[in-house]
Amino acid sequence: MPRTLVTGGAGFIGSHLCEYLLDQGHSVVAMDNLLTGDPANIERLIGRDFVFVKHDVTNYIALEGDLDYIFHFASPASPIDYLKLPIQTLKVGSLGTHNVLGVAKAKKARILLASTSEVYGDPLVHPQREDYWGNVNPIGPRGVYDEAKRFSEAMVMAYHRFHGVETRIVRIFNTYGPRMRVEDGRAIPAFMSQALKNEDVTVFGDGTQTRSLCFASDLVEGIYRLMLSDTSDPVNIGNPQELTILDLAKKVIAATGSRSRIVERPLPEDDPKIRQPDITRARKILGWEPKVGLDEGLIPTIAYFRSKLGIT
Ligand code: UDP
């Protein structure tokens, strides 16, 4: 039975990944400092072959026993989180990634880094392919996340090339589903909680910026396939179904049966204008593509936010 470490295991994607790995027969260690993670996300896993270790990976990681796989998902990941936690975001992407790579090397474990479409910044190429180097403002407010992840990728490739560590890099595009934090400030949680409370739905800018949204279960399956593949090159995982943020707001209002109005708010600095993954590589190498369309994925997500907000 493989033994697997998931850093950021109490987070939105991390907790879905822990559950998926348990279902695949892994023994799972989840590590999280609970800065943006939530113990409620992993409650249901207690009693299975699962241990939780509360630890900040920016500090030295002492973990007993063998490890076969490491999924490195620890990081604040929503724009308001990394605006509030800029130093922690930079530290977890740099010192944290270095420590986790050290564990991978010592245990001879294969490591997969959770990278991001943010490495492409405000992209000048559309859709984004893995060979695009990106358009990132290093000193802007999003730079703390984008550059931390770019540094992480560089560090992972250095451990791969210099130390021969088996590495994988997934570039995750916008993902949604149950267990997103109500207050994380991202479009889906914000629109859903506003719509369910019949409050104004806040579209930033004129809402013509685009995103492409992937349901959590599709993402996790793509990530698992990537871990088991033999490519150390980065692979985009996301759903190419692209829409404007204004259309997303309308969709959420319709799907929740809300009376909310849409209001415009200032566009945050360096907010990418367009984003859509080119998933040719994932299709070819992993035989993967997303199965859950937006209309379908919104249903369980709305049910989750309803219960979190206590709205029946
Ligand atoms: N957005 C919005 N209203 C909100 C939250 C977000 O219009 O209340 C916009 C945001 O400006 C961005 C898009 O929705 O253009 C997606 O934002 P999110 O924070 O979900 O993630 P991002 O893709 O920017 O990392």
Give the tens place of pLDDT for each residue, 52-100.
Answer: 999 999 999 999 999 999 999 999 999 999 999 999 999 999 999 999 9
Where does CATH 3.40.50.720 sit in the chain?
Answer: 3-175+214-237
Contact status, residue 169 vs residue 65, Cβ threshold 8 Å: no
Q: In angstroms, what is the span from residue 284 Cα to ligand 1's centroid? A: 30
Pocket lining for ligand 1, CB < 6 angstroms: 78-79, 174, 186-187, 190, 202-204, 209, 211, 245, 268, 271
Q: Kindly give the number of the ligand 1 atom that is closest to the alpha carbon of 248.
A: 14
Assigned architecture for domain 3-175+214-237: 3-Layer(aba) Sandwich (3.40)
Average pLDDT value over all residues in the chain: 97
Q: Kindly give the number of the ligand 1 atom that is closest to the alpha carbon of 249.
A: 7
What are the Cα distances from residue 244, in Å, to 121, 207, 263? 18, 6, 15
The residues annotated with a catalytic role in the active site are 145
Give the confidence band of 279 by pLDDT, cuts at 50, 70, 90.
Answer: very high
Q: In angstroms, what is the span from residue 91 Cα to ligand 1's centroid? A: 24
Distance CA 94, CA 61 (A): 14
Distance CA 211, CA 143 (A): 19
Q: Kindly report, residue by residue over 30-55, the tens digit of the pLDDT.
A: 999 999 999 999 999 999 999 999 99
**Amino acid occupying residue 206:** D
Q: In angstroms, what is the span from residue 209 Cα to ligand 1's centroid? A: 9
Pick from 291, 286, 147: which is nearest to 218 by CA?
Answer: 291
Where does CATH 3.90.25.10 sit in the chain?
Answer: 180-211+241-276+293-309
- 180-211+241-276+293-309 maps to CATH 3.40.50.410: no
Q: Kindly report, residue by residue over 113-139, the tens digit of the pLDDT.
A: 999 999 999 999 999 999 999 999 999
pTM: 0.97
